[in-house]
């Protein structure tokens, strides 16, 4: 299946279990593989035959900055559900949420969760 790929999509937000995460905030990074048939867009050069990546980015930004989650698992699930529910041509996606400034007593590049969801997972 074809895909639209977004890497290192970043937003500043206030998600996390700890109070200092809610107060101070931190950066969250998103990697998305959005699966759909790109042939109609490729054959017609018509933007209405695809899912625009700027629309994907805007929907992710809205969820990340307008809602608050304790867990990045819940954040990932909310993003996946929204994208699949609101973008008809999108069939499935793989989404990784990275949290490089997680307050843990270790030196790590980042903490992340990755989920794979399809329209059928939400009865769409």
Could you give the residue numbers annotated as active site? 99
The tokens describing 26, both together, are 């931190």
- On whether the CB atoms of residues 70 and 16 are closer than 8 A, the answer is yes
- On whether the CB atoms of residues 6 and 52 are closer than 8 A, the answer is no
CA gap 42, 46 in Å, rounded: 8
């Amino acid at each position: 299946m074809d895909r639209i790929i977004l890497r290192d999509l970043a937003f500043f937000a206030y998600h996390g279990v700890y109070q200092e995460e809610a107060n101070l905030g931190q950066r969250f990074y998103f990697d998305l593989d959005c699966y759909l048939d790109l042939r109609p867009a490729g054959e017609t050069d018509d933007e209405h035959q695809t899912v625009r990546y700027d629309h994907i980015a805007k929907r992710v930004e809205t969820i990340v900055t307008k809602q608050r989650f304790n867990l990045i698992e819940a954040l990932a699930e909310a993003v996946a559900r929204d994208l699949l529910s609101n973008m008809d041509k999108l069939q499935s996606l793989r989404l990784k949420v990275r949290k490089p400034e997680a307050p843990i007593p270790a030196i790590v590049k980042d903490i992340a969760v990755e989920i794979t969801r399809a329209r059928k997972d939400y009865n769409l």
